[in-house]
Amino acid sequence: QVQVVQSGGGLVQPGGSLRLSCAASGSIFSINVMGWYRQTPGKQRELVAAITSGGRTNYADSVKGRFTISRDNAKNTVYLQMNSLNAEDTAVYYCNLKGTDSSRRSPYDAWGQGTQVTVSS
């Protein structure tokens, strides 16, 4: 079983910054992909950023140049640095990990509990 715990988030003014973190624990054999998604009421959950085990990153066009995803493999942790925030970034942010479980050597798809990011003046 893989568990994911998020931290960070909160209220920030437009133009401000926040940093989200997501730490995984449990029966982890490997983490292949770490990603951040966000969701607003009535809308589909969308991918914000992702990073592979090799360090390759992908970003949604709406956040490219403003957000940076990174990972600390030793701590099984992924971060999302969010700069130049605007109201359109307001959402619940979820981290997602895809990898291989160390117990059964089977794939897993684990989600964090979500954290609210509100950008408002």
Share of the chain above pLDDT 90, in %: 94
Q: Does the pLDDT at position 25 exceed 90?
A: yes
Length, in residues, of the chain = 121
Q: Does the pLDDT at position 68 exceed 90?
A: yes
Residue identified by tokens 């066009």 is: 61
**Tokens standing for residue 64:** 């490219």
Rounded Cα gap, residues 121 and 111, in angstroms: 30
Q: Do residues 22 and 72 lie in contact, with contact meaning Cβ atoms separated by under 8 Å?
A: no
Average pLDDT score, the chain: 96
**Three-class DSSP category at 47:** strand
**Of the candidates 73, 77, 46, the residue with the CA atom closest to the CA atom of residue 59:** 46
Q: Does the pLDDT at position 91 exceed 90?
A: yes
Q: Does the pLDDT at position 1 exceed 90?
A: no
* pLDDT (0 to 100) of residue 42: 85
The mean pLDDT of 55-75, rounded to a whole number, is 96
* pLDDT (0 to 100) of residue 77: 96
The mean pLDDT of 15-42, rounded to a whole number, is 95
Q: Does the pLDDT at position 115 exceed 90?
A: yes
* pLDDT (0 to 100) of residue 100: 95
* pLDDT (0 to 100) of residue 44: 92
